[in-house]
Structure 1
């Protein structure tokens, strides 16, 4: 395979990556411990914790990917709910009844019971902000007896089991809850116990031998947070890491093809436009920006063909979306005439700064003056959510939480959505989102979701550009690492290193 010249690393870059790796992986003496029953798993992850590994934040997905925190239900490949910490459930109007699995203990040795479930769910339901899976949802939990919990919503909700599969609704031991803080250290139920967290640099997990689902095949996991994509790829190439999360597209061609796995995923690279203030308050200028974007050239130039050009917000990971989608009514575009816009994005996903540079050129060619503001995600998120940019480029998972895209659409585009980057407040969009959320699962719900997508696209509050593919690196000795398009699983009880 010919490597494009612009992808070749100069010697200075290689030296810098090696120095970074030395700092990231040195001193982890436990990572080389083979023990009597196998090697510990050395894991290089992209983003460091943002909220002290609180399950009420996006850090919950780290806890899930490390198999340390678990939920009442989990999702199968089709997005349907199946048993986890709950063995069965049934619906009666607004109330769902869940039977709690017997014989489960938390990592501190205490027993899983209905009260523990209620405490975890109630903390999430009353948090500020709420976990996004509960956006627009009024939820209360009650212990009926030691092994039975009822969950009641303000209106009848067909998606309660799927919502309860979100890692942000993980069930933790009493010790985890300290005032407004939630600390998962030693408080999960999974096959691995979180035993140590070193700020934003590393974490250590050890096998929990009393796990209800059977003993894990690896004695533990040593996690290093490595935001630099070049360094993560170099860790796989040099043998310093066993599993590498989110290998950048720019590095994939430099790795042995047998060490990487590429899977189309429900993640859309979207250009969000601020509809509340600034240049893009004008719908015709939003339309002008949409027409200026050449997504195909971005896929070829930045992603080297390892992505799919977007036709809508929902991509090929949900094949039914393309089958149901119809043409969208759009505003006529005005001509840009030197208006200055500021576009924000972040460095944590290596491709995004390149996407921003490509968009800058495309929009300038269309008549806009474009400034870029690029920081680490932790340092830009609050400004992004406050609407401080004219536009923002975000790589966004579309079914991450519930296996159903209605929750993502509500979170990002409802007037009261907790992740409404576009500051969109549109009554027709709100109505379509409400209908989608209330429709029972199946074909009717899928049609309602696509109608909601069309309502959003019609505002040009968001321009979907491309659908990403996850690229994961697994060393030659890794067995049974998960390759999960939803990014919920990575190291499981079956994962081991030969």
Structure 2
């Protein structure tokens, strides 16, 4: 039996310079210049503008889970470092005791209702997540059983061997809440039941939220005394709020607005989000692999990076981009690609959504490039919620979307299975290829970090070899930040924004 032990000491040594995690314990520098292991004094409240309002009544299982994580409200047993490895959060260490069982040792912490984080409470939270409908994306295809083990341990057993369980448990959708969060009916509530440095005091519809500092946070007293969050869908309005001093931090500044802000107020970071062109392999012209090759060779991603993203992106290299730090050195060249056919005016419908302001412009450039190659292209742009069901049903010939490849679990294999296999739940290309399924299957069964990464890149090569997906650009995230603010947390997975060390 192989046993792996991860201790928090090595995590702290590696992570402190990166300043990525919302609750990383350690020393923060107070405005007066003194260092305190307990965090800062009673600092100013932070004014934050977020791009997306709560969409699911603050459910910890869906899209709102990431919102809660970005505001420093919720935490899971683990988190991810800049290289995608699992590091301690509510669990201070863990070890694999068998192929299907892991034991996690909890740190001393309390929920925001004052109760202790106990093995029974953690087991209950994870059990509720497994019973959610629909289940959290991080648990897609996974069956697990969680039980307390002694005074500070929790034992998690999966139906099948799961070598990436510690990474999976870092997902914002697997945050741990106090027992009282789970009523007999309805969605679990994170209000006053989470473990992060900030707790929700009030939510005003979809317009704003008030958060106060949680003074008993295990990672030390947060510098800011609270957060006043506004949900501002319009990117121009978020940029204006930074420029006029109306907010201290604004996430997701559109590329087109970046030039309007003082350079000193711009912070950027690479992300694991890739904008791609998905080609419908089941019906329409792109059922023909030779026409998919014609579409791929027509795309000039460097023109997109320069013209649309204005340099705040890297040209599409694969499903995984530069922010996945190990990917480029392990990338495998696709083999056995078909030869391109002449489009001869083949008519296609290209769709995208306007929730991300750069995507319609990307689609217009791609439309022009495909038309120049000989395709006839009709462009359709909708709000995402009105587009997704049709895209999944294969009603478009091509689809442009932005996908964070490591958001759900941090495991590179997970997104390949969900997006490009016959049974994938988010298979926009409707790809069903035996070679791809075998390659992804091998990656799923591979243990060991390096070996799993190698298998993931081999599966990526198999997918790219079908030309079902054309990577267009690997995006950077841009935030507007007041020059008075320090400690904003921009991580590659877009899970964090404000934490205990964020201050002004």
Tell me if both proteins adopt one fold, taking TM over 0.5 as the criterion: yes
Q: For the structure 1 residues 201 and 377, does the alpha-carbon distance in structure 2 shift closer, same or farther, using more than 3 Å as the test?
A: farther
Matches of 2:473 and 2:199, distance apart in 1: 37
Tell me how far 1:145 sits from its aligned partner: 4.0
Equivalent in the alignment of 1:193 = 199
Q: For the structure 1 residues 39 and 437, does the alpha-carbon distance in structure 2 shift closer, same or farther, using more than 3 Å as the test?
A: same
SS in 2 for 1:374: strand
1:291 to 286, 297, 304: 297
Matches of 1:248 and 1:221, distance apart in 2: 23
SS in 2 for 1:402: coil
Question: What CA RMSD, in Å, does the superposition of the two structures yield over aligned residues?
Answer: 1.8
Contact 1:135/1:410 (8 A) holds in 2? no
Contact 1:66/1:489 (8 A) holds in 2? yes
230-239 vs 287-296, greater mean Cα deviation:
287-296
Equivalent in the alignment of 2:262 = 256
Tell me how far 1:445 sits from its aligned partner: 1.7
450-459 vs 319-328, greater mean Cα deviation:
319-328
75-84 vs 157-166, greater mean Cα deviation:
75-84
2:419 to 412, 416, 421: 412
Equivalent in the alignment of 1:475 = 482
Equivalent in the alignment of 2:210 = 204
Contact 2:83/2:324 (8 A) holds in 1? no
2:286 to 274, 277, 280: 280
Tell me, which stretches of 5 or more residues in structure 1 are unaligned? 1-35
- Residue 384 (str. 1) matches residue 411 (str. 2): no
Contact 1:429/1:456 (8 A) holds in 2? yes
2:65 to 35, 60, 63: 60
Equivalent in the alignment of 2:164 = 159
Contact 2:119/2:151 (8 A) holds in 1? yes
Contact 1:132/1:411 (8 A) holds in 2? no
Matches of 2:127 and 2:427, distance apart in 1: 24
Paired residues for 1:76-475 under 5 Å: 76-91=81-96, 92-102=98-108, 104-178=109-183, 179=185, 181-329=187-335, 330-475=337-482
Matches of 2:307 and 2:249, distance apart in 1: 27
Matches of 2:424 and 2:210, distance apart in 1: 35
Q: For the structure 1 residues 412 and 476, does the alpha-carbon distance in structure 2 shift closer, same or farther, using more than 3 Å as the test?
A: same
Matches of 2:433 and 2:121, distance apart in 1: 40
Equivalent in the alignment of 1:30 = none
Equivalent in the alignment of 2:502 = 495
Q: For the structure 1 residues 342 and 200, does the alpha-carbon distance in structure 2 shift closer, same or farther, using more than 3 Å as the test?
A: farther
Matches of 1:272 and 1:64, distance apart in 2: 29
Equivalent in the alignment of 2:4 = none
120-129 vs 77-86, greater mean Cα deviation:
120-129
313-322 vs 162-171, greater mean Cα deviation:
313-322
Tell me how far 1:254 sits from its aligned partner: 1.4
Matches of 1:85 and 1:400, distance apart in 2: 19
Equivalent in the alignment of 1:25 = none
- Residue 486 (str. 1) matches residue 486 (str. 2): no
Q: For the structure 1 residues 343 and 198, does the alpha-carbon distance in structure 2 shift closer, same or farther, using more than 3 Å as the test?
A: farther
Contact 1:46/1:348 (8 A) holds in 2? no
Equivalent in the alignment of 2:8 = none
Contact 2:47/2:227 (8 A) holds in 1? yes
1:185-240 Cα shifts (integer Å, max 9, x gaps): 22211110012222322222111112222211111111111121111111110101
Q: Normalization by structure 2: what TM-score?
A: 0.87
Matches of 2:468 and 2:186, distance apart in 1: 34
Contact 1:132/1:418 (8 A) holds in 2? no
Tell me how far 1:146 sits from its aligned partner: 4.9
Contact 1:135/1:417 (8 A) holds in 2? no
Q: Normalization by structure 1: what TM-score?
A: 0.88
Tell me how far 1:455 sits from its aligned partner: 1.0
Contact 2:412/2:453 (8 A) holds in 1? no
Matches of 1:167 and 1:224, distance apart in 2: 21
Matches of 2:86 and 2:418, distance apart in 1: 21
Across the two proteins, how many residue pairs are aligned to each other?
461
356-365 vs 331-340, greater mean Cα deviation:
331-340
SS in 1 for 2:465: helix
SS in 2 for 1:181: coil
Matches of 1:373 and 1:146, distance apart in 2: 57
